[in-house]
Structures are given as C-alpha cells and as structure tokens.
Amino acid sequence: MLPDLDQLKATYLSQIAEADGLDGLDAIRVDALGKKGNISTAMKNLGQLDGDARREAGQALNALKNEIASAIEAKKEELARAALDARLASEQVDVTLSPRPEAEGRIHPLSRTLEEVTAIFAEMGFTVAEGPDIESDFYNFTALNIPPEHPARQEHDTFYLPPDAEGKRKVLRTHTSPVQIRTMEKIEPPIRIIAPGRTYRSDHDATHSPMFHQCEGLVIGKDIHMGHLKGCLIDFCRAFFGVDDLPVRFRPSYFPFTEPSAEVDIGCSREGGGLKIGAGDDWLEILGSGMVNPKVLENCGIDPNEYQGFAFGMGLERIAMLKYGIPDLRPFYDSDLRWMRHYGFMPFDPPSIHLGLGA
Ligand code: PHE
C-alpha cells in the first residue's frame, strides 16, 4: 500500500543534502517526483484508500512533495553558489601584472594626405565621386577632347589592356579626369565634386611610380568663372600647407580638356639645400587646372552657353612628399615598417589642417 512517508522523507532529504552536483540532484528529483517516481506513484495509489484515510494520506503526500521540491531548489542554489565561489577563487585577476605592450600601427602618409585634402574640400561643399581604374579609351581620352593621334596620348605613357572581342583596348586610367565625364553624365549641374583615386603611367624613378594617386576636382554652375577657380585653389593650398600667406601663382598652360588652362605653383625657398614652403624666391608646381573646355561640356550633354565651370587635378604623393618632407616616392609602396614608423602618423593625431577657410 502506501510507503512509509517518514522513511521516504528521511531518505530523500539525506540524499539531497549529500548531492554534490546538478546531475545527481536531478536523478533524485526524478526518483522522487518524476512521472514514475515514488511520490507520484504513491499519489496514484491513493485511490485504493477510502474516506478519511485517503484525505489524510493525500495531504501528507502533498506536504512531502513540496518539502522535497523546495529542498532540491535550495540545494540547487547552494551548488550554484559554491560553483561561483570556486570560479572566483580560481580565476583571480592579478592586477599587479604589468601590461603586455601592444603593437601600434601607423597611418600611411598617403592616407593621411587624402584625409586632409578631403576635409578641406568638404569644408568648401565638395562631395567625393569615384570611377573605375580600368577605363575605356572614350572616358580617359576622347570625351576629354584628346582625340586619337593627339600628342597628349603619347605623353601619358598609357598601359593598355589586351583588345576585347571588338578589338577595343581598355586602359589603366592615366589620370582621374575621366571621373569628370562620368560625373557630368550622371548628375545635373550644379556640380561640386572631388575624385581621388589610383592612376597609372609607365614611368618609374624617385619621383614617379607606375601606380600613383591623383585627386580631381570639378565645379560646374551657371555663374562659375576663373575667379572661383583661383579663390578655391588658393584657399586649398594655404589650408593644406598650413601657411596663411603662402604665395600661389597661376601659370598659363595647356590641357585639351580645359580652356584656358593654368598650372598652379606655390612659393618656396631652397636655402642651404633644404626646401621650405612659404614666401621665397622659388616656385613649386603642384597642380593642373583650368576652365572646363566647352567641347567637354558638349560631350557630356551640358549646354556650354548655359553652364561653365572649372576643373583641377593634383598628384597626392607629390603634395604629401612636399608637405611632409619625404624625399623618395618608391618607399610609399614598400610596406617597410621602419619607413612607416618614421613617416607615418599616430592613429589619434588630429589632422594638421587649418580649417575655417577664408579666415
Ligand atoms: N589630368 C591632368 C593631369 O593628369 C590634370 C588636370 C586635371 C588639369 C583637371 C586640368 C584640369 O595632368
């Protein structure tokens, strides 16, 4: 009939007290309270009793069931606490241990220069545009008013790709100017973009690399004139080099895609073999510029009687070398850590640009 409840209680409570892990505790729970456990079975057998005896036994069984269940819960908490105490004791952190030195990276001078150039033009309301490194002859030359057989093509020392099915040869873009065309095809004026990126020419010495970087600029609007070109580029040069009264000179030049064209020089001095940027009796060429040739506007479906604008292009390595006194271009791409430690920038250095242009 009914098991001896006092006996059951004594057995289970002592088993629970002795349990040394959650698995053992669960086995006790199943044995006592599980579907086929002793208490559950006894409850099922209550039906065999009658009247008062059944009620009494039912109450006693319920009480026992609750007592065992809460003893199991309490033991569970005790085990969890003990496990945590053991972990805390074994995983102590020794705060007196000296820290392991962390390898610290550097920002490449070219990345830094690009950040600075972008920040200066962003202040003037420019956004950044992009184009592909592999260009069609049309975008790199023809649309920029450099027709086939034009001598400018030879000057570019172009890398050509093998001809495609139609016999057309793509090129590695020789300048960022094709992004002018792509931008004018895509968006309606007014336009105010810069387009930094990789460019390629077959040329290799201390100041030329077959892959290098340029930053293009393009401004198109109804009232844009050469005064805007000059003001924009003077402000840029002074902000970039951090010299408020930097002399800037516009020297007449020729590019097929601008008319008139001007090369931009900044003042410098070369006393005692060292180059110093600022007022002096010498000049350094730093970028090409001009008013967008009406033929180029027409090639892009923009009416030159309604719109005009200016464009410019500069070599990023060149301005980085001038600003940071880096004498040779080749180590830019050598990934030599000694060079990076010398010429690179700490990640959290604020960029040394002088914002608040026109101030
Ligand atoms: N694309 C020219 C170069 O590579 C630079 C330039 C850009 C000149 C835009 C005028 C206007 O030399």
Q: Assess if residue 215 is contained within a domain.
A: yes
Closest ligand 1 atom, CA of 315?
Answer: 4
**Interacting residues of 120 by C-beta distance below 8 A, sequence separation 6+:** 235, 236, 239, 240, 353, 355, 357
Percent of the chain with pLDDT over 70: 97
Between these two residues, 38 and 223, which has the higher pLDDT value? Answer: 223
Do the beta carbons of residue 310 and residue 279 sit within 8 Å? no
Closest C-alpha residue for ligand 1 atom 4: 175
Structure tokens at 182: 């792509």
Under a CB-based contact definition with an 8 Å cutoff, are residues 286 and 322 in contact? yes
- 214 CA closest ligand 1 atom index: 4
| Ligand 1 atom showing the smallest separation from residue 180 Cα | 9
257 CA distance to ligand 1 centroid (A)? 8
Own/partner long-range contacts of 277-281 (Cβ < 8 Å, ≥24 apart): 277/241, 277/243, 277/246, 277/322, 277/323, 278/241, 278/243, 278/245, 278/246, 278/247, 279/245, 279/246, 279/247
Say yes or no: 231 and 147 in one domain.
yes
Same domain, 118 and 254: yes
Residue 174 and residue 201 in contact, taking contact as beta carbons nearer than 8 Å: yes
CA of 289, closest atom in ligand 1: 10
Q: Whose CA is nearest to atom 7 of ligand 1?
A: 313
User: Do 80 and 150 sit in the same domain of this protein?
Assistant: no
Query: Do 266 and 165 have their domain in common?
Result: yes
Query: Cβ distance 149 to 141 under 8 Å?
Result: no
Confidence category of residue 356, pLDDT binned at 50, 70, 90: very low
- List alpha helices for 205-284, DSSP H: 226-241
Pocket, ligand 1, Cβ cutoff 6 A = 175, 177, 216, 255, 258, 288-290, 311-313
Residue 38: HSE in the Cβ half-sphere, 13 Å Cα cutoff? 17
Give the pLDDT confidence score for residue 302 in this predicted structure. Answer: 98
pTM equals 0.72
Write the residue with the smallest CA distance to atom 9 of ligand 1: 312
What the block records as the tokens of 335 is: 């990934």
Task: Indicate the DSSP class of residue 183.
Answer: H
- Asked whether residue 177 is domain-assigned, the answer is yes
pLDDT of residue 132: 98
Write the residue with the smallest CA distance to atom 12 of ligand 1: 288
Domain boundary among 57, 90, 123: 90
Residues 257-290 as b/e (b if ≥16 CB within 10 A, e otherwise) read bbeebbbbbbbbeeeeeeeebeebeebbebbbbb
Q: Clarify whether residues 137 and 219 are in a common domain.
A: yes
Please identify, by atom number, the ligand 1 atom nearest to the C-alpha of residue 177: 1
175 CA to middle of ligand 1, Å?
7
Residue 84 CA: distances (Å) to CA of 23, 80, 90, 91, 267: 17, 6, 10, 10, 71
Q: For position 189, what pLDDT does the model report?
A: 97
Spacing, Cα 254 to ligand 1 middle (Å): 10
328 C-alpha to ligand 1 centroid (Å): 23
Q: What is the average pLDDT across 8-34?
A: 89
Q: Which atom of ligand 1 is nearest to the CA of 310?
A: 11
Query: Beta strands of the chain (E only): which ranges?
Result: 127-128, 134-135, 171-172, 191-200, 211-221, 248-255, 258-269, 276-277, 282-292, 308-315
Q: Report, as an integer, the average pLDDT of 270-285.
A: 87
* Cβ atoms of residues 235 and 312 within 8 Å: no
Q: Give residue 289 CA to ligand 1 midpoint distance, Å.
A: 6
* Same domain, yes or no: 139 and 260: yes
State whether 62 and 120 are in the same domain.
no
- Predicted local confidence at residue 345, as pLDDT: 92
Q: Whose CA is nearest to atom 2 of ligand 1?
A: 313
Is 210 domain-assigned? yes
Q: 180 and 295 share a domain?
A: yes
User: Which is more confident, 359 or 73?
Assistant: 73
Q: Is the peptide bond before 260 cis (omega within 30 degrees of 0)?
A: yes
- Give domain status of residue 207, yes or no: yes
Count CA within 13 A, CB hemisphere, residue 154.
3
CA of 144 relative to ligand 1 center, distance in Å: 10
Angstrom distance (rounded) from CA 199 to CA 174: 5
Tell me, yes or no, whether 56 lies in a domain.
Answer: yes
CATH number, domain containing residue 126:
3.30.930.10
pLDDT value at 330 more than 50: yes
- Do both 293 and 145 map to the same domain? yes
Residue 86 and residue 115 in one domain: no
Q: Are residues 334 and 217 in the same domain?
A: yes
What pLDDT was estimated at residue 358?
Answer: 36
188 pLDDT above the threshold of 50:
yes
* Full residue range of the structural domain in which residue 76 is found: 5-90
Query: 128 in a domain, yes or no?
Result: yes
Contacts of 341 (CB under 8 A, 6+ apart): 106
Helices (H), 199-347: 226-241, 294-299, 316-324, 337-343
Residue 263 included in any domain: yes
Q: Report the pLDDT value the prediction gives residue 354, as an integer from 0 to 100.
A: 46
Distance from Cα 177 to the centre of ligand 1, integer Å: 6
Within-domain flag for 308:
yes
Identify whether residues 222 and 314 lie together within a single domain.
Answer: yes
Q: Total domain count for the chain?
A: 2
Positive/negative CA dihedral, 313, 318, 321, 323: negative
